[in-house]
Amino acid sequence: MKTGIKIALSLALLSSLSFGGEQFAMSDSDRAMYAEMLENNPADIMVAHGEELLSDMGGDAGLAKYLGVSESELPKYIAGFPRYIEKFDMVVGLGQALQAMMHDTGKKVLKLDSSDMNDMLAYTKSIANDEPINIDVNANQHMKDAYALGQITFDTKRGGRGLSCLSCHSPDVIGTILRTQPLPDLGVNNSGGTWPAYRMTKSNLTTLQGRMQGCMKNALLAVIPLGSPDIVALEVYVTDKAKGKAIAIPGLKR
């Protein structure tokens, strides 16, 4: 009962939050536009650009070689990110693996928030399209630790409003409406398999880490930097919720 009261209270708090001006759920015309964009995702061209950028580093074959897998194993391997990689001795997202490859092949290392990096990350993840997400959070102690850190980061209340990710993405509140936006279940929504996605409200390609930062900004939580152990851990935790769901990049989101 106590938690019931808590949830009621935090929902009252939530209803006073504005979501960056995105106050409206999809209208009929938005829905029509969405249907059209599903046919022809504006991010396809960005993914194609990412493919060109990767081809400067040897393309799929170069990436497979760098990651130490065969080209035919590459899609399955990519479907397991974020993952522990021995030569880096840490759990990394796909973007960081690309940065390491840029570094080791003598290319300019792109920042994780650059649009070229987003394009490249989207293309690289799309190599795993139709593969089920196969992240293994029990693969080794590093992954277990990352999962545990991700869960703590997800559940811990922070910031001026005392909100956590869980405040809005817990089974108790999923489906309730915040300022006309339904609160999504990150597993059912396949967040792990549908980002990078084209965001219609922002007209850009956004990565999963970038999307999570968006929620931090909206909910007044201190923004965790891209590529930091904490945000990679969050990505591990959120991706695991969609384990087994098929990867479909680029996603298309409101």
Site of interaction with ligand HEC (CB under 6 A): 14, 17, 163, 165, 167-169, 178, 181, 183-184, 186, 189, 191, 194, 211-212, 215-216, 219, 221, 234, 238, 253-254
Question: Residues 65, 68, 71, CA angle at the centre, nearest 5°?
Answer: 55
CB of 218 to ligand HEC, least distance (A): 6
Nearer to ligand HEC, 142 or 161 (CB): 161
Nearer to ligand HEC, 121 or 163 (CB): 163
The dihedral over CA atoms of 226, 230, 234, 235, expressed in degrees to the nearest 10, equals: 40
Query: What is the secondary structure of 151-166 as a DSSP string?
Result: HHHHH--BTTTTB-HH
Backbone angles phi, psi at 66, to 5 degrees: -60, -35
Nearer to ligand HEC, 127 or 236 (CB): 236
CB of 23 to ligand HEC, least distance (A): 11
* Distance, CA of 104 to chain centre: 25
Nearer to ligand HEC, 4 or 160 (CB): 160
**Prior bond of 184 cis (ω within 30°):** no
CB of 33 to ligand HEC, least distance (A): 15
Nearer to ligand HEC, 102 or 121 (CB): 121
CB of 209 to ligand HEC, least distance (A): 9
CB of 141 to ligand HEC, least distance (A): 23
Backbone angles phi, psi at 136, to 5 degrees: -120, 100
- The residue of the chain with the least Cβ separation from ligand HEC equals 165
Q: Where are the alpha helices (DSSP H) in 80-207?
A: 94-104, 115-126, 141-155, 165-168, 191-194
